[in-house]
Amino acid sequence: MSENKNLKMQALEYHAKNRPGKIEVIPSKEAKTQRDLSLAYTPGVAEPCKAIFKKPELVYDYTVKGNLVAVITNGTAVLGLGDIGPTASKPVMEGKGLLFKIFADIDVFDIEINEKDPDKFIEIVKSLEPTFGGINLEDIKAPECFYIEQKLKELMTIPVMHDDQHGTAIITGAALLNAVELQGKKIDQLKFVISGAGAAALSCCKLYLLLGALPQNFIIFDIDGVLYDGREDFSHDKLQFVRHQKNKHLTLREAMSNSDVFIGLSVGNIIDENMIKSMAHKPIVFALANPDPEISYDRAASTRDDIIVATGRSDFPNQVNNVLGFPFIFRGALDVRATAINESMKLAAVHALANLAKTTVPDIVNLAYKEKNLSFGQQYIIPKPFDPRLISTVSPAVAKAAMQSGVAKKNISDWDEYEMQLKKRLGLDDQIMRALSIRAKRGPKRLVFADAENQKILKAASLLYEEGYAYPILLGDPKNINNIAQLNSIELFDIPIVNPRADTETATRNKYGAIFFEKRQRKGINSYESLKLMRDSTYFGCMMVEVGDADAVVSGLTRNYGDVILPAIQCIGMSDEVSRLAGMQVLLSKRGAIFLADTTVNYRPTAEELADITLRIAYHVKQFNVVPKIAMLSFSNFGSNRAPEAQLVAKAVRIIREKDPSLIIDGEMQGTFALNKELLKENYPFSSLVGQDVNTLIFPNLDAGNIAYTLLRDLGNIEIIGPILLGLKKPMHIINLGSTVRNIINISLIAISDAQIKSNSITLERSEYQKDWWQQLGGK
């Protein structure tokens, strides 16, 4: 079966499976009882109607209008299919609605209008203003699209945008700014060749002028050839770009010679290698025709080394995709109830996207695109569509521009809170980690990475230092570490590197070994072994923390859990008030943070041990500024099964209540009842957890805890932070084999917070933090 035929079958099956189409309406309120229905509809619905009649702006408080966008078309210019009519365009409009929802949590009704007359189309769309918070015009042919958008913007007091025009312009504008910077050129000196003279091409040209390009530096081609002064079949909007062009016989091949920028918004395979070779030094080529670009990425990139290439395809670097723009632009516009999407807002989106591409790429993006280490450069000039930072970067920029340009009817005062709300919309509510990051910035600590000869560790350390969260210390061979960093384009700044095996560290090893021997001399360790162990980076790192040369240590990326926990116990030791260590995971979900324990340390705790573990977990949950509401899990519910395993959990609950009566806790109980308030109230109304949002789950043994969290991690669309090792005197945390950079950073932030709580150790100023600080502090 050919690839195209296979794709056709898969696409048709995809659209038909389960229920036809790609979107549905889901109630946002409960509608399970007669009372619910009486509130949702008659008679209760009359109250918001009366309130809105008296004060129309209350429509944003009592209805979905403020989060509802209409995706509207007449089907006259659908993708590369042309005028296929409104009915056949519906799958595309549904697809656009899906993108609005998954990327920006915007609700959409797709509306396909059977009307080609521009004025009648305008009247129909205008009449929809009471329903929607914004209008996204889609797939309307030129030149009618220009007139339709302009008139609707004049007539309507909600934002209107024709994405085919402005979306492409905004994304290519951001990519252009970064490409120009990388190529070391000035935009007002660039010579542009534009292939295509439709809505998107003209909008791109106009936006590039706002970015600094000059109209006399553009040469535009359409299907009939070059646009020149005197040609009569083009609209007045294009006049400023063609009045300087006198040669009506100029070919695309001739125009490409010595040009700086080629923008293709036309048809595939019209550019060849010789045309690319004829371009000026360090050219920029955006070949954006779909599905086949004007020249393929591989052909263009292989023609010369100094070129930057972008296409509309996701299977090559530098994909120019409108999904980088429209969801987040409308999100920002809706959130301030903007009356329009103006040039200031578009430019704000351009600069936000361009700047985001220059920041360190999250590991989740690298994983999504099967990249090892994306970084700003020739093959990464624009963010990837699945970058989770887009919504909290672009939307605030657009909202601020709306406020500053006077089109916002609602102001945002707390931008940190707004960014948190944006993340929460997509289930990215990491307010706990946000709080930890803020805390870390206020008092960065010296954080040792024991497994530093690894690109994930180096990337995490670089990010932590760059963001001002920590002063990392890398343990390992400096040559290997620097080679790995260089190979993966990781900036190490002035992060110190200490090699525990080096001769230069003999005095330090002797010092640490002597202290270690004193701690372990009657516990099976001799003097020689103590010194030898100090060559191990985990032992060395733990001793750095133990003697105060560092504040916290992170290890375990390349080792088994048990091999890392032993040095921690031997070097640092357990806190005086605990009898055993415990491991905790933090699950970040739409319902908030849920703490899971014990997931890594204790195999089969007794009732007394389980009670001690729970009290330790409760203490640490409070350190996250969260009130622990604890469910003690079992296969039994409040004595429904008299098995010893169930009775053990019930006994642990009794012990905990005796030791700390203030704790909100109950059990033994099944996980279903712990997480379902209604079900718990209906079946066990006596439970102290009725009406509570349980946020802490205590498992009866290591089997249950470890299996549960690994299944959630690997099967659920949720983020799990951990394991967090609890019970040591000083901060030492273990990262699992194969952890992502994001998890390493999260564990590091927890280690820093732990260090801030447990000690008043010194915190260096950034100016003091340099490669030779290791020698300066005590002359080690």
The residue with tokens 């005095």 is 507
For residue 773, pLDDT beyond 90 = no
If you average pLDDT over each of 444-448, 522-526, 711-715, which comes out highest?
Answer: 444-448
Q: Give Cα separations from 135 to 155, 338, 410, 510 (angstroms).
A: 12, 12, 19, 72
In a 10 Å sphere around its CB, with 0-12 CB exposed, 13-18 middle and 19+ buried, how is residue 738 labelled? exposed
Measured CA to CA in angstroms, residue 89 lies from 92, 93, 201, 322 at distances of 6, 7, 22, 18
Strand partners, 536: none
| Distance, first Cα to last Cα, the chain | 68
Selection from 633, 597, 549 nearest residue 709 by Cα = 597
Nearest to 612 by CA among 656, 651, 569, 574: 656
Q: What φ, ψ does residue 379 adopt, rounded to 5°?
A: -105, 10
Tens-place pLDDT, residues 403-450: 999 999 999 999 989 998 898 787 544 557 766 777 788 788 999 999
What are the backbone dihedrals phi and psi of residue 284, each rounded to the nearest 5 degrees, phi first?
-125, 125
For residue 661, what pLDDT band results from cuts at 50, 70 and 90? very high
Most confident of 80-94, 229-243, 355-369: 80-94
Of 181 and 466, which is predicted with more confidence? 181
Question: Average pLDDT of 466-478?
Answer: 92
- pLDDT tens for each residue of 193-248: 999 988 889 899 999 999 999 999 999 998 889 998 888 776 667 778 888 888 99
Q: Is-contact 148 331, C-beta < 8 A? A: no
Helix residue ranges per DSSP H, 127-238: 144-155, 163-183, 199-210
pLDDT band at 774 (very low <50, low <70, confident <90, very high): low
Task: Place 717 in a pLDDT band, splitting at 50, 70 and 90.
Answer: low
How many CB atoms sit inside 10 A of residue 327's CB?
27
Six token digits for residue 55: 């004060």
Per the annotation, the verdict on 469 as an active-site residue is: no
Q: How many CB atoms lie within 10 A of CB 531?
A: 17
Q: Is 622 a catalytic residue?
A: no
Question: Would strands 160-162 and 284-287 be described as parallel, antiparallel, or unpaired?
Answer: unpaired
Instruction: State the pLDDT at residue 779.
Output: 38
Q: Rounded mean pLDDT of 704-721?
A: 80
Mean pLDDT of all residues in 725-732: 91
DSSP 534-551: TTSHHHHHHHHHHHTS-S
pLDDT of residue 7: 62
Measured from the Cβ of residue 340, the count of other Cβ atoms closer than 10 Å reads: 21
3-state secondary structure of 367: helix
CA distance 99 to 167: 14
The structure's pTM equals 0.67
Please give the average per-residue pLDDT across 753-762, as a whole number: 71
pLDDT at residue number 766: 53
Lowest mean pLDDT among 96-100, 290-294, 746-750: 290-294
Cα 748 from chain centroid (whole Å): 19
Q: Which pLDDT does position 739 carry in this prediction? A: 83
Interval 309-331 mean pLDDT: 92
- 379 DSSP 8-state letter: T
From the CB of residue 98, how many other CB atoms can be counted at a distance below 10 Å?
15
Output the pLDDT for position 385.
87
Query: Any idea how long the chain is?
Result: 780
Q: How many CB atoms lie within 10 A of CB 565?
A: 22
Q: How confident is the model at residue 505 (pLDDT cuts 50, 70, 90)?
A: confident
Burial (CB count <10 Å: 0-12, 13-18, 19+), residue 358 = middle
779 sits in the region (left: phi over 0; alpha: psi -120 to 50; else beta) called left
Percent of the chain with pLDDT over 70: 93
Active-site hit among 65, 96, 153, 629: 96
pLDDT digits 0-9 by tens, 573-611? 988 887 788 999 898 876 778 999 998 888 899 999 999
pLDDT tens digit sequence for 107-161 = 999 999 999 999 999 999 999 999 999 999 999 998 899 899 999 999 999 999 9
Q: How many helices (H) and strands (E) does the chain have?
A: 32, 21
Q: How confident is the model over 42-53, as pLDDT tens digits?
A: 999 999 999 999
**Alpha carbons 387 and 376: distance in angstroms, whole number:** 14
The angle subtended at Cα 263 by Cα 262 and Cα 267, nearest 5°, is 110
Return the half-sphere exposure (C-beta side, CA atoms, 13 A cut-off) of residue 506.
2
**CB hemisphere CA count around 769 (13 angstroms):** 23
- SS3 of 498, please? strand
Q: Which of 311, 281, 312 is nearest to 299 (CA)?
A: 311
CB 705: neighbour CB atoms within 10 A? 25
Contact 425, 395 (CB under 8 A): no
Please return the burial class of 33, using the count of CB atoms within 10 Å of its CB with bins 0-12, 13-18 and 19+: exposed
SS3 content of the chain, % helix, strand, coil (to 5): 45, 15, 40
Q: How high is the pLDDT of residue 368?
A: 59
Mean pLDDT of 334-363: 94
Scan for tokens 């296929």, then name that residue: 84
The angle at the Cα of 457, spanning 453 to 460, to the nearest 5 degrees, equals 150
For the chain, how big is the Rg over CA atoms in Å? Answer: 31
Number of CB atoms found within 10 A of residue 386's CB: 15
Taking alpha carbons only, the member of 719, 730, 749 closest to residue 436 is 749
Residue 397: which residues within 8 A CB-CB, separation 6 or more? 332, 348, 349, 351, 352
- Catalytic pick from 8, 14, 41, 62? 41
The average confidence (pLDDT) of the chain is: 89
Q: Which residue has the tokens 């946000």?
A: 434
What is the Cα–Cα distance from 30 to 592, expressed in whole angstroms? 20
What are the phi and psi torsion angles at 343 (to 5°)? -65, -35
Chain mean position to CA 95: 22
What pLDDT is stored for residue 33 in this prediction?
86
